[in-house]
Amino acid sequence: MDLKINILQKICLLIIFLNNSSFAISNSFDSGVKSINTKYTITKVRTAVDKQGTYVACTSYEGTILAVGYDGEIRWENKLSGFMNHDIWAGDVDMDGVDEIFAANADGSIYCLNSNGKLLWEFKQNEAPMYSVCVIQKDGKSYAVCGGYDNSYYYLSPKGELISEVASKTYSIEKPFSKALHKVHPPKGLHVTNFLRPAKLANGEEILVVHGVQNSMSGPGSVYFFKPLEAKPYQTIKLKKRGPFGDLKVVDVNNDGNSEILLGRVGAKAKGNYFTIIDTKTNKQSLFDLNKIKERKVLNRGMYRVIQPEVVSNKGKKAHIVLQGSNLVISDFGDEEADAEVLPTRFSFNDMFKDPNSNKVILASAQSGGSAIHIIDFDSKKWKKEFRELNPPGKIQDILANTSGIKNNLIKFKKPKYQKKSATVYFMSENRKKPEARKSIERIEANHDNPVFLNGGNFDKEKWDRSAMSSEIYKNKRDRRMKYKLTQEEVLEKIKKRHDQSKGKGISYWAGHGNDPYMYQVETTKKGFDIANGNKTVIIYPEVEDHSDEFKFVMNDLILPLADYAKTRNANMYLRNKHLFWQSSVYMKKWEPLVSGKYANVFVPAMEETTDKSMELSFTSRLGIWAAGAVDSWGARCARDNASFDRLRQHSNQTLPNHFLRTMVYTISSGAQFIDNFPVDQEYMSLLWDLIAEGAIYVPKRSDILSFSPVHLSIANPEHEYLSRASNVKWLTFFDKEKTENDPYVFSRLNGTWPGAPLTEWDFSKYAAGANERRLNFIPKYNNGMVLITPPQKGVFAAKKVYRKLLKENIHPWYKNIMKEYYSDGKNYYSADGKETYAPDEYYKVIEEDIKKSSSLIPVNVSGNVGWVVAQVGAKQLRLTIVENGYINPNKETAKVKINNIEVKKIKDILSGEEFKLNSDSTLDIEIPLGGFRFIDIELNEKL
């Protein structure tokens, strides 16, 4: 009997072992696509193995690592550093049969967690963000391998001890293909490690695959094959097809034991629709081109995407699958590319990973702020239908429900009688082609005079004789995307037709670009102003910035003559510049005419915030230029690639533009009038139009705003290195641990080395704007009031000749006697007389303390993870607009409101009708819905 029991016990233990084994466990579920709400916005997914079997290891936008069972259970979570993880990996580094989890963190660390989520060790060489991590084996031993933005990669022991460093300068073949801005040359023979991945050879040995790149937007980089622990690659492959590449998978397509490398392209529209295949045996490169697919029309949605390829079993046959935006493409091996099947769904996803122990693929959260992961079972007959109909649970549903609630409240809303007339908002690029958008626009135009919808859109460019142009550079510049074929008469005919179609509203169009400011002759553009006959004309100049002396020619020949002509013709020049132009380059001598206010009614400062990581700075810089009176209005833009702070991982295919909606509510409530948005879902965005039309959004004049901090920072004589760092966000190899990157600067970590990186304590973005990292701060906090970045008002830095009033005379009278000015060149701080220089890493404490103390001098302060603005809308009424600030990772938030120096009669949400009572300390908490915003009117006992 005892023997039988012992045998039965052993059988039971064997069954338990097999059920827990990653090889035996089925992890099956009934559905073809299973969605699990994690309550986090998940950006990366992998699979890992522990004693229970296979589970999903993932990281959130905030950097929290989670373990999620296939049964939907959240097994554990670890917040780590609180900064983002650029890469995660699961591998058995200590060879005990259970995977460890590795995170390549933006703080420069590699974190290693055990299967229970406990931190085992961390490794850090310097401050440069870690970007890739994996585990590799050699001779029966495992090692962690990691690398990032310091131009090296490292081998680590199972305990996190440094074994060796492999510096890219010892083997890289990369060469800069052009100069960076401000005459700075990116170093040659360096690269960052875009990807580190293990691959296998037919003899069973593992090799390390390194993908090295210098630029995040151009150039494919090179692939290097290393034997583990060796310092030199045994094979170097210069990629033929133009990059960048944002995904690298290792697969064995033909079961010969040799891995193939799949490199997924990053890009928009057709140019990004492919992946490269490298055979590790022959080194041959081939291409899978999605543009050849018969069903390609559904693929051509004009957004930026990372092509993510994989290999699955499709009804018993091996097949490529490709995640392309909101589409999944499947193609059996041996079939023609043209015959690939396209399965569209509504949402795009942040990542895709195949479980190596099953025929399942895991998708990270929907890019529009989702919180679920999705597991596709390719063995299920239902997966295709369920994928097409996928409607993510969690945050996506909250966003939709909260937006619907705002819409319903707006239907019942009546603009208060005390509310002043808003400034006019001009929507410059709304698309009327879809019936829903057209109906909304026509309804608003029939019943309201604000907002105004201009007849926007580009047309072909003028073919004209530039032979007399004295600048050889600009004589030969052309924008390759454009067709130069129109005569002057044909251009003017198009302008006239567009004005006629606008019915007096006006038009907008591109008149130039940094690639070619001279898309039309100066005289052609002037004649176009005349054709308008007094109606509004806005000419758009994206990325017009050149730091060479040659640009003086453009200023004197094009920009200033057009500005002079536009002053009396209801025309505006919309400068859609990039990076930190509005707090750096604009303060160079050549832009003095703009800063002086001479053309205040012409120039409109706007932004092209793609690739950037410093939106909190560009926002307050445009506000500062406007508040100072250099310009009478300012502009904003939401573009398809705004969600990308890292062009190598450009997951910018958001189909639900809630991030656009909240950004625009915040920006327009802060006074932006000229809006140049990229159309995504205009039926959804039409809520913004109605909020303006009905008066829920009050568009303030600069003299209405009461949320400016009394402290402001003025920029003069921007320092050369600061200008370089502020502009060179595409080149990635500038990190120099022996030299400059850790030098204290007022505005730091701005070039391409620092995606998602923590800010230094002395950085203006940190102490003034409340930012913690270089990433997507489109709705900045500024908890102590908006600290404006302005032209100098007094002292030796102030311009001798200006046409504008002083800052304190332009803004609300409340500020008349409480303003305080500091001075900087972007690197250091200075005294008003210019005689004293103050180091940023010490002097910031003086300014920070002043900002905090001065916050009690303004009527209202708001703290929390929100953006906010206060404007006077009536004699005794203030409008407090509060916007949840999680850009692509929305969350429900609490705004903590503090009332200062005013006596309050009533506080009320103007849409919901909810009334609030102040606490005894003159504070109150206001809940802000996930993906939402609120408009709170504060009625005072007396007039301001």
- Cβ pair 652, 638 in contact under 8 A: no
Please spell the DSSP secondary structure of 210-232, one letter per residue. EEEESBSSS---EEEEE-TT-SS
- Continuous H helices in 138-249: none
Nearest Cα to Cα of residue 5 among 19, 15, 13: 13
Distances (CA, A) of 720 to 365, 763, 825, 839, 853: 41, 18, 9, 17, 33
Cis, peptide link before residue 561, omega less than 30° from 0 = no
- Cβ pair 246, 649 in contact under 8 A: yes
Encoded amino acid at 493, one letter:
E
pLDDT band at 302 (very low <50, low <70, confident <90, very high): confident
- Cβ pair 454, 505 in contact under 8 A: yes
Please spell the DSSP secondary structure of 244-282, one letter per residue. -EEEEEEE-SSSSS--EEEEEEEEEGGGG-EEEEEETTT
Cis, peptide link before residue 186, omega less than 30° from 0 = no
The Cα 68–Cα 76 span in angstroms is: 8
The Cα 559–Cα 562 span in angstroms is: 5
> At 856, phi and psi to the nearest 5?
-80, -5
Radius of gyration of the chain (CA): 29
pLDDT at 200 over 80: yes
pLDDT band at 431 (very low <50, low <70, confident <90, very high): confident
Angle separating helix axes 395-412 and 682-694, nearest 10 degrees: 30
pLDDT at 16 over 60: no
Nearest Cα to Cα of residue 529 among 487, 570, 486, 575: 570
pLDDT at 27 over 50: no
Across-strand partners of 327? 324, 344
The HSE-up count of residue 219 (CA atoms within 13 Å, CB side) is 22
Across-strand partners of 375? 34, 362
Overall residue count recorded for the chain in this entry: 944
E strands along 325-383, which residues? 327-332, 341-344, 352-354, 360-363, 372-377
The pLDDT of 240-254, averaged and rounded, is 92
- Cβ pair 47, 353 in contact under 8 A: yes
The 8-class DSSP code of residue 302 comes to: S
The β-bridge relationship of strands 452-453 and 426-427 is parallel
pLDDT, one tens digit per residue, over 758-783 is 999 999 999 999 999 999 999 999 99
pLDDT at 739: 67
User: What are the counts of helices (DSSP H) followed by strands (DSSP E) for the chain?
Assistant: 17, 53
pLDDT at 916 over 80: yes
The Cα 823–Cα 792 span in angstroms is: 7
pLDDT at 740: 56
Nearest Cα to Cα of residue 199 among 223, 173, 167: 223
pLDDT at 2 over 80: no
CA dihedral 383, 388, 394, 397 (to 10 degrees): -150
Query: What six digits make up the tokens of 394?
Result: 């969690």
pLDDT at 741: 55
Percent of the chain with pLDDT over 90: 89
Query: What six digits make up the tokens of 849?
Result: 């303390």
CA dihedral 786, 622, 458, 270 (to 10 degrees): -60
- Cβ pair 209, 235 in contact under 8 A: no
pLDDT at 180: 60
pLDDT at 299: 85
Nearest Cα to Cα of residue 540 among 678, 723, 682: 678
Nearest Cα to Cα of residue 418 among 939, 873, 870: 873
The β-bridge relationship of strands 426-427 and 42-50 is unpaired
E strands along 827-865, which residues? 829-830, 837-838, 860-863
Name 414's Cβ contacts closer than 8 Å, sequence gap at least 6: none
The β-bridge relationship of strands 711-715 and 789-790 is parallel
pLDDT band at 296 (very low <50, low <70, confident <90, very high): confident
Using a 10 angstrom Cβ sphere, with 0-12 exposed, 13-18 middle and 19 or more buried, the burial of residue 583 is buried
pLDDT at 15 over 60: no
The Cα 371–Cα 78 span in angstroms is: 17
pLDDT, one tens digit per residue, over 563-577 is 999 999 999 999 999
Report, in this order, helix, strand and coil percent for the chain, each rounded to 5. Answer: 25, 30, 45
Across-strand partners of 76? 67
The pLDDT of 377-391, averaged and rounded, is 97
pLDDT at 269: 77
pLDDT band at 26 (very low <50, low <70, confident <90, very high): very low
Percent of the chain with pLDDT over 70: 96
CA dihedral 59, 62, 64, 69 (to 10 degrees): -50
The Cα 435–Cα 584 span in angstroms is: 43
pLDDT, one tens digit per residue, over 706-731 is 999 999 999 999 999 999 888 889 99
The β-bridge relationship of strands 100-105 and 109-113 is antiparallel
Map residue 878 onto helix, strand or coil. Answer: strand
pLDDT at 221 over 90: yes
Using a 10 angstrom Cβ sphere, with 0-12 exposed, 13-18 middle and 19 or more buried, the burial of residue 284 is exposed
CA 921-925-929 angle, 5° bins: 170
pLDDT at 413 over 60: yes
Buried b (16+ CB within 10 A) or exposed e, 841-851: bebbeebbebb
Using a 10 angstrom Cβ sphere, with 0-12 exposed, 13-18 middle and 19 or more buried, the burial of residue 528 is buried
